[in-house]
Amino acid sequence: MRAFLLIALLASVSITAAFSDTGTLGASPAAGPTGAAKSPGRVELTISSPAPGARVESKMHMAEIRGTATAGADGPRGFDVMLVLDVSRSTQTACGADVDGDGEIGEDPHQGLYAPGEFPDDVYSTDPEDTVLHAEVLAARTLIEGLDSKRVRVGLVTFSGEVDPTTGLRRAPEQHDAELRVPLTRDHASLLTALDEVLREGPHGATNFAAGIRLATQELAGMSGAQSRPADRHKKVMLFLTDGIPSFPAGRADTQDPEDMAAAVRAARVSQAAGIRINSFALGTDALARPKAATEIAAVTLGTFTPVIEPAGVVAALQAVNFANVEDIGVANVTTQEVATDVHLNPDGSFIAFVPVKVGRNKVIINALSSDGAETNQELVFEFSIKEAEDAEKRRQLARLRKMSDEMERYLLADEMKRKRNRDRMERVLDIQVREGNRSQ
């Protein structure tokens, strides 16, 4: 039924298509009828490729559209994102998915799946590259690779807490339970190198939330002692990943003292005062059994708390985070009467959409929706022709398809509802055009 409606709408849009050539849907951002009609805030669209009128070539009837959406008239110039990763000992456990993609799913021998003695007692993942820490690192990598280094600075903090093996307490009162791996930088490649280093060092120690939050806050806020240089009008975001509950700085590492959580919440209040938002991600059953600390640090900073039942799901969860306040991007091809279903919106508002096209002239509408409900449309006309794929291009397309791993498929399933809303919205956008077109004729 919906498909029929869409076809019907699109059929009528061909009239509108001719009409809008006369300039109803101006090419300027925020000029679309829906954007002007009900804008609580404002959202702007910049299409970086293809250029208007350009000739696009591809082996498949599919054109790649890249751009950026920015919410708010006085929106931030850019983003400072501090990744805060839990490297405590428990992150050595198998996360339940094939993180390294070698075809073997690492399992925790302590879960009773193997005969006693089959694995040494200190092995927590039969595939050493499928641990919770590996899932965190893969999530961080995937996130970083999707961010625009011109607009987003990224830094890396890890936290744990060295334990005195005889007492179970901290080794020394002045010890640092968090480490600044990379100050905020546009050199995203340096983050990838640092993440490799984190994996080489491996999981260790207890879980000191407060230390991680304090160090990340110092850097994001440019407090004294910070190594990161301050940036003007950058929105400050902390992405805090943990598989546990705070066990340090108070008392023993194997005991959750009330002060462990109180210290974390106090640290988050300082973040809040410094204009930093904490988005927390609690991975796995341990973290979710008692998620109070992870929810509190997000709540006091007006950030989001994301429960991630399967730790490997953090890859998709981190990718789905939205710090640009851009809720959704929709793309419809007026010429082929199809709506793009393959739209990747990055947390910084940049996006890539693959829209179905036909050979010749194509008119495409791109719609951006901000978190506060503001919308804008932009249209783009380009020429499309089929080309024989060269080997490099074939490899690139294959690599892209392979990247859509099991993880992404799960994400797509979970995303089904959102996609339906997107589709409905684009149908509405097209419908408005039809009505606007008819009125003017």
Residues that bind Ca ion (CB under 5 A): 98, 100, 102, 104, 127, 130, 247, 250-251, 255, 257, 260
Residue (100 or 431) nearer to Ca ion, CB: 100
Q: Smallest gap, in angstroms, from Cβ of residue 84 to Ca ion?
A: 19
194: left (phi over 0), alpha (psi -120 to 50) or beta: alpha
In whole angstroms, the minimum distance from the beta carbon of 210 to Ca ion comes to: 11
CB of 130 to Ca ion, least distance (A): 4
Which are the contacts of 398, defined by CB distance < 8 A and separation ≥ 6? none
Could you tell me the smallest distance in angstroms from the CB atom of residue 238 to Ca ion? 23
d(CA 104, CA 94): 12
Between 98 and 243, CB nearer to Ca ion: 98
Distance CA 210, CA 246 (A): 8
Measured from the CB atom, the residue of 183 and 291 that comes closer to Ca ion is: 291
Which residue lies nearer to Ca ion by CB, 41 or 168? Answer: 168
Of 138, 139, 113, the residue nearest 126 (C-alpha): 113
CB of 113 to Ca ion, least distance (A): 15
Query: Residue 53 Cβ, how far from Ca ion at the closest point, in Å?
Result: 47
182 or 312: whose CB is closer to Ca ion?
312
Nearest to Ca ion of 103, 120 (CB atom) = 103
Residue 317 CB, shortest distance to Ca ion, in Å, is 20
C-beta closer to Ca ion: residue 240 or 248:
248
Cβ closest to Ca ion, residue 33 vs residue 291:
291
Nearer to Ca ion, 57 or 196 (CB): 196
CB of 137 to Ca ion, least distance (A): 14
Tokens, residue 96: 């339940």
Closest approach of Ca ion to the CB of residue 251, in Å: 4
Q: How many CB atoms lie within 10 A of CB 412?
A: 14
The residue (of 219 and 243) whose beta carbon lies closer to Ca ion is 243
Tokens of 34: 């829906």
Give min distance, CB of 397 to Ca ion, in A. Answer: 25
Q: State the minimum distance, in angstroms, from the CB of residue 396 to Ca ion.
A: 25
Return the number of the residue (255 or 440) whose C-beta is nearest Ca ion.
Answer: 255
Secondary structure, 3-state, the chain? CHHHHHHHHHHHHHHHHHHHCCCCCCCCCCCCHHHHHCCCCCEEEEEEECCCCCEEEECCCEEEEEEEEEECCCCCCEEEEEEEEECCHHHHCECCCCCCCCCCCCCCHHHCCCCCCCCCCCCCCCCCCCEHHHHHHHHHHHHHHCCCCCCEEEEEEEECCCECCCCCCECCCCCCCEEEEEEEECCHHHHHHHHHHHHHHCCCCCCCHHHHHHHHHHHHHCCCCCCCCCCCCEEEEEEEEECCCCCCCCCCCCCCCHHHHHHHHHHHHHHHHCCEEEEEEEEHHHHHHCCHHHHHHHHCCCCCEEEECCHHHHHHHHHCCCCCCEEEEEEEECCCCEECCEEEECCCCEEEEEEECCCEEEEEEEEEEECCCCEEEEEEEEEEEECCCCHHHHHHHHHHHHHCCHHHHHHHHHCHHHHHHHHHHHHHHHHHHHHHHHHHC
Query: Residue 375 pairs with which residues in a beta bridge?
Result: 369
